[in-house]
Structure 1
Amino acid sequence: MMDWTDNHFRTLARIISKYAWLYTEMVVAETIVHQKDNSDRFLAFPAEQHPIVLQIGGSNVDNLSKATELATAYSYDEINLNCGCPSGRVAGHGCFGARLMLDPEFVGDAMSAIAASCSVPVSVKCRIGVDDHDSYEELCKFVDTIVSKSPTRHFIIHSRKALLNGISPAANRRIPPLKYEYYFGLLRDFPEVQFTLNGGVNFIDQVNVAMGQGAHGVMVGRAAYNNPWSTLGYVDSAVYGVKSDSLSRRQVLEKYQIYADSVLEKDTPHRPSVRQLVKPLLNMFHSEPGNGLWKREADAALRHCKTVKSFLEETLDALPDSVLDSQLSGDPPKWDGNFDNMETLLPPKYTAGTKDEFKLHACLAMST
């Protein structure tokens, strides 16, 4: 999520969850290439953020390849190509993001070049379609083409199509209907490929329900940003089955403050402001008593505080100790939906090639 999942938010996320895979905001390949002498600004991250995926965007194969090669020095765990962003700045003027779904041959070539420039897995994040190109068969042809032309074996599927004209990126996250049946159709028709479900996932219990129905993985985006404590806080125990650190919000803030003020102490050309470093914290008390008062005090404090420590000292009195010191316990809140009707909603089986032909494509791609 551009301007959201930056280094600072990812640091907060890693303090709360030790096991969730983190994704960078999309970084444009041309930016990485043209700013190669300043690459730390766009690519560096604390080692604690592993496992972490670099998401890149672009529509020039050479630049995508060069950007990937430059990124290898930073030891990302996976490289992901964004084929899902509907922003006019990206899909319109930039001619990449979701618009790339209209040219699967190009995406296959691009993924082949990206894979050849790194030694880690590669993946594609996409929608289920674009504008009127939204049939299940077209989605399958997109996946099949990329798999046949590259070693790509992981797709993150946002289960809405993208509308490139007339609506905003925000509207693109709610107006096109979710079609989870397309996602589950892909699981059925491409058993050799890993698919991660994305779109409309707001509860950790929903993650477990999806995986119980066969999902290989689930990506949670804005829900994790808008309510990091109650979303990410359950990931390690509820999803990975690992005992979490059971930190309180106060302890999370203390750890984050040490990180944030260490960043402020560095004399670098693009040192962030206190406001930028506090931004990821503003949803830590979502729906809790004192949240409104705390945000008002935060707005006032950000006008003069020079450190995150002083910001917290000045504002946390607005929140009850019961909110600051409580720990998450028990199971995550239940999701009142289900995926049980997917079997009846599944689209017709993809029949563009036999299973043996698909395996042949896969073998040929892996051998190149």
Structure 2
Amino acid sequence: MVAEQYLPPWFSVAPMMEWTDNHYRTMARHISKHAWLYTEMLAAETIVYQEKNLDRFLAFSPDQHPIVLQIGGNNLENLAKATRLASTYGYDEINLNCGCPSPKVAGHGCFGVRLMLDPKFVAEAMTVIAANTDVPVSVKCRIGVDDHDSYNELCDFIYKVSSQSPTRHFIIHSRKALLNGISPADNRKIPPLKYEYYYALLRDFPDLRFTINGGINSIDEVRAAQNEGAHGVMVGRAAYNNSWSMLGNVDTAIYGAPPSGVTRRQVLDKYQVYADSVIGIYGNGKPSLRDLVKPLYGLFWGEPGNGVWRRKADSAFHHCKTFKSLMEETITAIPDSVLDSPVVDPYSTACVDKFANSKNLLPLPYTLKEEQEEQLLYA
């Protein structure tokens, strides 16, 4: 499978640890056929050390295409081997995580967003990754780290990585990261969003492709970003917490496909076949019923009966042995009108365009300093 077989990544679901696992991606693909799905970040070391057990970490069903594997790491040898091992699974793109601010990753692990401080290494890593796969490669990063947060520093990173490696696609989380001990959750809220940095990159690097990420919570906002020229839009928690409304509108609103007419009952029927085929396959009850039900919580966000259904499901985990039996016991909490209605486009012409002012705030154009040109010439 190659990426050219699919429509472009105008919309993608962000890689999220313990969220965008095989279970979520299976459910998501029953709702949207065209959204690009990302795996959770997998450390290169995990792939290398689990070489005899890779299906648990890397296998996915063919209908999950288009799908991107995100890896993390700071060891070139392990990144090369991990990419080579993963290449047999047929991912459509390999992405390097240069944006995670978690202390376990950017702190003790010394990778994730900390790699933004070493663009030379990132370029070497991307070259190594590209040499071990036949599919495109990309980088997901922030707009800065701690006090290294100027637009010029961001551009230096983009320029060095793109000029010294085959990388042509960058996913830009439009917040900087703070590595002073705040939590990953606070790193998604406290640093201000600077969408103007993203739109300035479109201006200053016209030969590259950029996907915007961060703070985008509705299909309205996805379309607004595109209307302002975004090459692609990546959505994280909104695509998980409100999966029905968000993913259900991607194919029609973003890709122009006719309405599928799919209902939540149909999604659940298809997902049940998957869930009951994988429950407990890894031993020790893994994956558990709870693991398999978790991705479904976003199906009924804001709908009548959602709270009752979740409480009934929580109780049923203690005695149900199959996904089918759990759903038969609990799904009556959700009205038939919710289960059997196709998705409704929430588009509102009154929506405030949160990106409209970004182009009035653009930083000055990036210019490569003479000493940088010399460094690159002899790099």
The equivalent residue for 2:306 is 291
**Change in 2 beyond 3 A, CA 1:333/1:12:** farther
> Within 5 A, what are the aligned runs for 1:1-368?
1-264=16-279, 266=281, 271-330=286-345, 332-333=347-348, 335-352=351-368
- Aligned residues of 2:151 and 2:363 also touching (Cα < 8 A): yes
Deviations 1:313-367 (A, max 9, x none): 010111111111111134535643332212210001001169xx8xxx8xxx9xx
Does the Cα contact within 8 Å between 2:172 and 2:198 map onto a contact in 1? yes
**Partner SS, residue 109 of structure 1:** helix
Alignment correspondent of 2:6: none
SS in 2 for 1:282: helix
Counterpart code for 2:107: G
1:222 Cα offset (Å): 0.6
Q: Distance in 1 between matches of 2:286 and 2:309?
A: 26
CA distance in 2, matches of 1:23, 1:171: 22
How far did 1:268 drift?
5.9
Answer whether contact 1:41 1:270 (CA < 8 A) is retained: no
Residue by residue, what CA displacement relative to the aligned partner does 1:23-64 show, whole Å, maximum 9, x if unpaired? 000000000011111111111111110000000000111111
Q: Deviations over 1:187-218 (max 9, x none)?
A: 00000000000000101121111111111000
Please give the secondary structure, in 2, of the residue aligned with 1:243. Answer: coil
Contact 1:160 1:179 in 2 (8 A): yes
Residues 143 and 175, structure 2, Cα contact 8 Å, conserved in 1? yes
Partner secondary structure for residue 300 of structure 2: coil
1:233–1:328 contact (8 Å) kept in structure 2: yes
Q: TM-score, normalised by structure 2?
A: 0.91
- The AA in structure 1 aligned to 2:256 is G
Per-residue CA deviation, residues 145-183 of structure 1 (Å, 9 max, x unaligned), is 001110000000000000011210000001100000000
Amino acid across the alignment from 1:163: L
- 1:255 partner letter: K
Q: Secondary structure at the match of 2:216?
A: coil
**Cross-structure match for 2:9:** none
Of the structure 1 ranges 278-287 and 231-240, higher mean CA displacement relative to structure 2 is found in: 278-287
Quote the residue 2:8 is aligned against.
none
CA distance in 2, matches of 1:301, 1:336: 42
CA distance in 2, matches of 1:267, 1:175: 39
With over 3 angstroms needed to count, the CA separation of the structure-2 counterparts of 1:330 and 1:131, relative to structure 1, is closer
Contiguous gaps of at least 5 residues in structure 2? 1-15
Moved more, 38-47 or 244-253: 244-253
Please state whether the residue corresponding to 2:211 is helix, strand or coil.
Answer: strand
Secondary structure of 1:19's aligned partner = coil
Asked whether the equivalents of residues 212 and 233 of structure 2 are also in contact (C-alpha less than 8 Å), the reply is yes
TM-score, normalised by the number of residues in structure 1 = 0.94
Q: What does the per-residue CA deviation read over 1:207-254, in whole Å, with 9 as the maximum and x for residues that have no partner?
A: 111111111000011100001000000000000001232211111111
Paired residues in the alignment total: 359
> 1: distance between equivalents of 2:259 and 2:79?
38
Task: For 2:265, give the aligned amino acid.
Answer: R
SS at the partner of 1:251? helix
Residue deviations 1:80-100 (CA, integer Å, cap 9, x gap): 000000000110010000111
Alpha-carbon contact 2:224-2:353 (below 8 Å) kept: no
Counterparts of 1:224 and 1:290, CA distance in 2 = 21
Partner SS state of residue 170, structure 1? helix
Greater alpha carbon shift after TM alignment, 26-35 vs 280-289: 280-289
Rounded to whole Å, the distance in 2 between the matches of 1:346 and 1:60 is 36
Query: For 1:283, what is the secondary structure of its paired residue?
Result: helix
Q: 1:267 and 1:133 mapped to 2: Cα distance?
A: 43
Distance 2:165 2:199 in 1: 23
Whether the aligned pair in 2 keeps the contact of 1:238 and 1:331 (CA below 8 Å) is no
**Distance of 2:68 and 2:27 partners within structure 1:** 16
Does the 8 A contact of 1:162 with 1:172 survive in 2?
A: yes
Q: CA RMSD in A?
A: 1.9
Aligned AA (1:344): N
